[in-house]
Structure 1
Amino acid sequence: MQVSALTKSFGERVLFENISFGIAEGQRIGLIAANGTGKTTLLNIIAGHMDYDSGEVVFRRDLSVGYLEQDPRFPAGLTVLEACFHGQNEIVRTIARYEQALARNDTAAIDGLLARMEALGAWDFEQRAKQILTRLRIADLEQRVETLSGGQLKRVALAAALIVEPDLLILDEPTNHLDLEMTEWLEEYLAGRRMSLLMVTHDRYFLDRVCNEIIEIDDRRLYSYKGNYSYYLEKRQERLDAADATVARMKNLYRRELEWIRRTPSARSGKAKYRIDAFQDIKDKAHTRRSEETVQLDVRQTYIGKKIFEAQHLCKRFGDRVILDDFSYLFSRYEKMGIVGNNGTGKSTFIKILLGLETADSGTIDIGETVRFGYYSQQGMEFAPQARVIDIVTAIAEHITLSDGKQISASQLLTRFLFSPQAQYDYVAKLSGGERRRLYLCTILMSNPNFLVLDEPTNDLDIRTLNVLEEYLSAFSGCLIVVSHDRYFMDKVADHLLVFNGQGNIRDFPGSYTDYRTWRKEQEAAAAQGAAKTVKPAAVAPTTASKPKERVKGKLSFNEKREFERLEAEIPELEAEKAALETEMSSGTLSTEELIAKSERIAALIEEIDAKSMRWLELSEL
């Protein structure tokens, strides 16, 4: 795939101009740029979802492309599994043509499509979808997509992009809404595939471990770095230092040439005309200014006393799911706590209980009088699309106090958060996802909190803003609780971790997230080694259904073929369960109640095996 001289603007706002780059087979490219400078727009253009002003995007003729959007949408009424089959990729189109040929009984078309489906691996499509959805913790495959949360929808869309295994996979913030375990699985999954990648992500560890090239859009231009994120940081700084040195040399040269121009008659002979002609170019280079804009988070923090808060014997559950089980904790002054755990283990619920937004089943929380919370929620603030940026901030306060005691206006504060005077009068609907998050962070900090509670603050923020936020939090003289799936961010800001396991037991780990993962892997390895010494290999249960050596697939529909393969997998599993129950019943160690229960289960298994075997035989005869 090749992008040549691409330019895109919205009105007077130019996002990028005459940028060119290519993606070769096996390349894994990470795209980095500040919020609002066109990352998602560029991905949409390459995926064919958006027009551009000039230039061209050229694909290899037989290239298959998969795209994970930042905010995916599916038609209402689809189930989760159907959503994975929804799309215009080559596998889905081939399956549709195969089903149509079957309906017409077009033997010639069926023969050709059979070979194509074998080449694409279409027969394994559903099984691959189920495996990936399971790893992404989407359990109910019949659930309608309109009932899914935003995070669940993003994971379904990620599964849909992965299962087709395209030649080029384009990912826009793939780690958003993934917990740490899922993110690490995705790293391993992508590392084991040969597909080319183009991705936008704020997860710097993910960039480091997955990408082998970084491209950066800076000041409308594109720069390429042949290495991972760590290499990019090193070489980018070298580029900036070299540019600064060039400007310094040009300034010295400009002063000399300006002096020469002033003392030289305008009618000087043509012999030195080249020097006069070059003067304007020297002047332009000498006055080049590198705009390295960063967010300035220097708002004042109010005083916090010695008493922070104390939680005693907190309990919380939702049905059978236990969130807290007799949890007690005394929060100390200046403490910086990270909270980690898989999705659904209760991290956000725990925070809401501490803030009084959710009620515990039992237990008490005692909060100090000087504590002033600043809560950055995972959902973010719901801004009205037709509200202007400046109106949102002035509705909270007209003037804001900085850390040095000075007061600035709401407009000046927005400028420090990288909203230009022109952008301050834009409507919220025009902001990118990262710009909305930056505006939300501004509204949180302008209230001068001394206890920050941040639930997934890194989603959609660009890396430069994350670097500034990390520095601000490291120097923050109040208290901090942060929930994040961004491993780099957690390593930078948290002194220790509360680890949620989903069963109400919370471990206080004294170290960084990297320390915790190292410890956990050591524990898992030790447990696996111990289990290997005590567990004997189980005997393989025989199967009773005789299978033909070769089956004819030409007369099976795609759904029948999938059913046939499911039965081949399910029948041996049921027979293995039946054999295990028979072994237990003959052991002589079961009570009367257990014998009756297992006997009833064996009878149900025999009936189910007979029904499935009969259906398998029907399909095999086709």
Structure 2
Amino acid sequence: MAHLLGVESVRATVGPRILLDDVNLGIEDGDRVGVLGPNGAGKSTLLALLAGTREPDSGRVTRAGDTRAALLSQSDRFAPEATVRTAVHGAAPEHAWASDPAVRDIHAGLLADLDLDAPVSSLSGGQRRRVALAAVLTADADLVILDEPTNHLDVEGVDWLARHLSARFSRRRDAGALVTVTHDRWFLDAVCNHVWEVVPGVDPGGNRPQIPGRVETYDGGYAAYVLARAERARLAATAAAKRQNLLRKELAWLRRGAPARTSKPRFRIDAAEALIADVPPPRDTVELAAMATARLGKKVIDLEDVSVDYPDPAAPTGRREVLRRVTWRLAPGERVGVVGVNGAGKTTLLRLLEGTLAPTRGRVVRGQTVAVATLSQTTHELDPLAEMRVVDAVAMVGERTLVAGKELTAAQLVERLGFTRSRAWTRVGEISGGERRRLQLLRLLMGEPNVLLLDEPTNDLDTDTLAAIEDLLDSFPGTLVVVSHDRYLLERVTDHQVALLGDGALQDLPGGVEQYLQLRREASDAAQAASRQSHSAPAASARSGAALHAARKELARLERRLEKTTAHIDELNRQMELASAQVDVEQLTELGRQLARAEAEREELEAQWLQAAEAAEY
């Protein structure tokens, strides 16, 4: 693989603080790197160093040949007069980019609902973010650097982005490389083959020297990263028992959840199983349901034949129906995730459950003991508490609460969600966005609700904080409803999911989020097929028999190559199992490289097969 970029003994400082020191990294063709770390650790600074928009204070960043980098930062800057078209493609004529299948895919995935001639200044924040992402993805770059690319994307958008990036940055010559900061763990596992963890520095105070931040590297996606972290902690006999337990619990979820999450070779799975052999499932569903029934009784919240509509001058009737004749009964201890397209009614559904919205038709029936708490998307309710200390803002709601059968004080609960002693006594007005989100949840839990509604709870949170929140929610003995675009969180903390598909109905998803994505793909394919049939029938009928024969011949060729490559992968796995039994580290390493190349080849062949299959349909 061709070398693209190197980082040699780099130091980066912010004022007197050494943010990163002695960082040594390398990026090659086909690398897909996910960057993790707590807020403020230096992740965005690292990306700026890689992109060349910031120079290191010492050390150097080298680029091979004419390696070009494109950076998506967290702040979107567009010219005041820019349209969607010029923001993405500049002054390039349409024929120069419209004929490129990859560019058409980007338009379909990110810009399908936008007018290309609309001013960027007229767009919403989420739409502007998608335009900025499209501009970076269409740029002529060998190294694509993305800072939180999944922000403002729904489940469907994240799924599209993962498939697009995996296909583009496959392990082949001149594929280029990807580096992305993201807190979306499903996206990390689906896309990345390496993880860099930015470990923050420590200032011990006094006259003692500062411990600078560093970057630790791991092979594989998020699941492999959790495994390697747990292994390192175990081998080093770390004293941080609390953090270790969280990692082991997270690992237990990853191995016992959906299959094929880990991107480690199969010979590592035995090590994972041994590590979690004595770790129980994340939560005892039966016990939680019994506790919830005791607190709530048999009735929680029932939606009975509920419809909700809003005034809409563009609608034929002058009103738009968001929910249509929805009947839904929440059970004690039920843990349900809600997914859906933007504007389908997810927030409306939460407001009905919360009791702040009355239905247009139908009724909402509540149990007598129901106490609802809602984690909203904003944290404005903390603004009046700006002068209070964090621990006092929690204690004012309640001094003590029960978590997993243990009584915790406000200070203990604050510490459990990652506030150090110094941060626990910081003024609320001075804490970060992620810390405000954690404080918001702590105050809700301290009030001991029995129905908890979470609206996009992962905003501004790093992966360690998310794991701590999930651990806390595991012991919540009530009914939980989560609306989120974070697929990992939904599958981790809820037991089943439902979907709002934009037609007013609430649909159960026995197959989970994957079923929702399949339903959306089928709807999109049906719409495209109908459009092709109505607009392209003459062209389709005029297509020559020779061209159709060639397309089907190419499809058969790709199928044979796919079968051969799959057989080769199976053989490599068999050889790795033998080498693992013989503890032949050198052979395992070489076989691992061959396996990675073969799997990348299969990914590329599958993408080519899909294109060929579409061509052979006409």
Same structural fold, with TM-score higher than 0.5 when normalized by the shorter chain: yes
- TM-score (ref. length: structure 1): 0.64
Structure 1 residues 143 and 432, CA gap change in structure 2 (3 angstroms): farther
| Partner Cα distance (2:353, 2:153) in 1 | 24
Structure 1 residues 438 and 508, CA gap change in structure 2 (3 angstroms): same
Q: Residue 337 of structure 1 contacts residue 495 of structure 1 at CA under 8 Å; is this kept in 2?
A: yes
| Partner Cα distance (1:518, 1:132) in 2 | 19
1:338 Cα deviation after fit: 1.2
| Partner Cα distance (1:388, 1:62) in 2 | 52
| Partner Cα distance (1:382, 1:130) in 2 | 43
| Partner Cα distance (1:398, 1:526) in 2 | 51
1:515 Cα deviation after fit: 5.7
Which residue in the other structure is 2:467 paired with? 467
The range that moved more, 503-512 or 126-135, is 126-135
2:147 aligns with one of 146, 167, 172 = 172
Query: What are the Cα deviations for residues 244-297 of structure 1, in whole angstroms up to 9, with x where unaligned?
Result: 2xx7xxxxxxxxxxxxxxxxxxxxxxxxxxxxxxxxxxxxxxxx8799489999
Matched, 1:484 2:484: yes
| Partner Cα distance (2:408, 2:167) in 1 | 54
Q: Between Structure 1 and Structure 2, how many residues are aligned?
A: 465
Structure 2 gap segments, 5+ residues each: 169-174, 201-212, 248-281, 284-290, 543-618
- TM-score (ref. length: structure 2): 0.65
Read off the aligned partner of 1:346 and give its amino acid letter: G
| Partner Cα distance (2:13, 2:352) in 1 | 46
Which residue in the other structure is 1:181 paired with? 156
1:189 Cα deviation after fit: 1.2
| Partner Cα distance (1:323, 1:180) in 2 | 19
Structure 1 residues 161 and 431, CA gap change in structure 2 (3 angstroms): farther
Read off the aligned partner of 2:476 and give its amino acid letter: F
1:504 Cα deviation after fit: 0.7
Read off the aligned partner of 1:510 and give its amino acid letter: P
What secondary structure does 1:78 align onto?
coil
Read off the aligned partner of 2:409 and give its amino acid letter: I
Which residue in the other structure is 1:163 paired with? 138
Read off the aligned partner of 1:307 and give its amino acid letter: K
Which residue in the other structure is 1:448 paired with? 448
| Partner Cα distance (1:163, 1:143) in 2 | 19
> Aligned runs of 1:131-530 on 2, under 5 Å?
132-136=106-110, 137-193=112-168, 194-218=175-199, 220-244=213-237, 292=243, 303-318=295-310, 319=312, 320=315, 321-381=320-380, 384=383, 387=386, 390=389, 394=393, 397=396, 399-403=398-402, 406=407, 408-409=409-410, 413-424=413-424, 431-514=431-514
| Partner Cα distance (1:334, 1:358) in 2 | 23
Structure 1 residues 293 and 9, CA gap change in structure 2 (3 angstroms): farther
Which residue in the other structure is 1:100 paired with? none
| Partner Cα distance (2:144, 2:160) in 1 | 17
1:480 Cα deviation after fit: 0.7
1:3 aligns with one of 2, 7, 24 = 7
Matched, 1:63 2:67: yes
Q: Residue 30 of structure 1 contacts residue 199 of structure 1 at CA under 8 Å; is this kept in 2?
A: yes
Structure 1 residues 405 and 425, CA gap change in structure 2 (3 angstroms): closer
| Partner Cα distance (2:384, 2:104) in 1 | 37
Q: Residue 491 of structure 1 contacts residue 514 of structure 1 at CA under 8 Å; is this kept in 2?
A: no
Matched, 1:39 2:32: no
Which residue in the other structure is 1:558 paired with? none
Read off the aligned partner of 1:308 and give its amino acid letter: V
| Partner Cα distance (2:131, 2:524) in 1 | 31
Which residue in the other structure is 1:597 paired with? none
Structure 1 residues 34 and 391, CA gap change in structure 2 (3 angstroms): closer
Read off the aligned partner of 1:198 and give its amino acid letter: V
Q: Residue 12 of structure 2 contacts residue 57 of structure 2 at CA under 8 Å; is this kept in 1?
A: yes
Structure 1 residues 479 and 424, CA gap change in structure 2 (3 angstroms): same
1:374 Cα deviation after fit: 2.0
| Partner Cα distance (1:289, 1:417) in 2 | 15
1:28 Cα deviation after fit: 0.9
| Partner Cα distance (1:541, 1:407) in 2 | 69
1:333 Cα deviation after fit: 0.8
| Partner Cα distance (1:78, 1:150) in 2 | 15
| Partner Cα distance (2:474, 2:463) in 1 | 16
1:398 Cα deviation after fit: 6.8
Q: Residue 394 of structure 2 contacts residue 443 of structure 2 at CA under 8 Å; is this kept in 1?
A: no
| Partner Cα distance (1:361, 1:518) in 2 | 31
Q: Residue 380 of structure 1 contacts residue 440 of structure 1 at CA under 8 Å; is this kept in 2?
A: yes
What secondary structure does 2:389 align onto?
helix
Q: Residue 81 of structure 1 contacts residue 129 of structure 1 at CA under 8 Å; is this kept in 2?
A: no
Structure 1 residues 383 and 289, CA gap change in structure 2 (3 angstroms): closer
| Partner Cα distance (2:234, 2:470) in 1 | 24
Query: What are the Cα deviations for residues 387-426 of structure 1, in whole angstroms up to 9, with x where unaligned?
Result: 46726952871753121574635x5543333222333455
Read off the aligned partner of 1:360 and give its amino acid letter: P
Structure 1 gap segments, 5+ residues each: 86-91, 97-116, 248-287, 544-622
Q: Residue 391 of structure 2 contacts residue 414 of structure 2 at CA under 8 Å; is this kept in 1?
A: no
| Partner Cα distance (1:75, 1:181) in 2 | 29
Q: Residue 301 of structure 2 contacts residue 329 of structure 2 at CA under 8 Å; is this kept in 1?
A: yes
| Partner Cα distance (2:428, 2:67) in 1 | 37
Read off the aligned partner of 1:22 and give its amino acid letter: G
Q: Residue 377 of structure 1 contacts residue 455 of structure 1 at CA under 8 Å; is this kept in 2?
A: yes
1:514 Cα deviation after fit: 4.0
Q: Residue 390 of structure 2 contacts residue 426 of structure 2 at CA under 8 Å; is this kept in 1?
A: no
Read off the aligned partner of 1:316 and give its amino acid letter: V
Read off the aligned partner of 2:147 and give its amino acid letter: D
What secondary structure does 1:333 align onto?
coil
Q: Residue 304 of structure 2 contacts residue 327 of structure 2 at CA under 8 Å; is this kept in 1?
A: yes
Structure 1 residues 13 and 210, CA gap change in structure 2 (3 angstroms): same
Read off the aligned partner of 2:116 and give its amino acid letter: L
Read off the aligned partner of 2:31 and give its amino acid letter: Q
Which residue in the other structure is 1:561 paired with? none
| Partner Cα distance (1:50, 1:189) in 2 | 28
Which residue in the other structure is 1:257 paired with? none
1:29 Cα deviation after fit: 0.6
Read off the aligned partner of 1:209 and give its amino acid letter: A
> Aligned runs of 1:562-577 on 2, under 5 Å?
none
Which residue in the other structure is 1:84 paired with? 88
Q: Residue 394 of structure 2 contacts residue 446 of structure 2 at CA under 8 Å; is this kept in 1?
A: no
Identity, in percent, stands at 37
1:228 Cα deviation after fit: 2.6
What secondary structure does 2:153 align onto?
coil
| Partner Cα distance (1:327, 1:497) in 2 | 16
| Partner Cα distance (1:65, 1:186) in 2 | 19
Q: Residue 494 of structure 1 contacts residue 512 of structure 1 at CA under 8 Å; is this kept in 2?
A: no
Structure 1 residues 291 and 525, CA gap change in structure 2 (3 angstroms): closer
Which residue in the other structure is 1:17 paired with? 21
What secondary structure does 2:480 align onto?
strand
| C-alpha RMSD of the superposition | 4.2
1:330 Cα deviation after fit: 1.9
| Partner Cα distance (2:22, 2:86) in 1 | 40
1:84 Cα deviation after fit: 2.5
1:48 Cα deviation after fit: 4.3
What secondary structure does 1:62 align onto?
coil
Read off the aligned partner of 2:142 and give its amino acid letter: D
Structure 1 residues 79 and 334, CA gap change in structure 2 (3 angstroms): same
1:437 Cα deviation after fit: 2.9
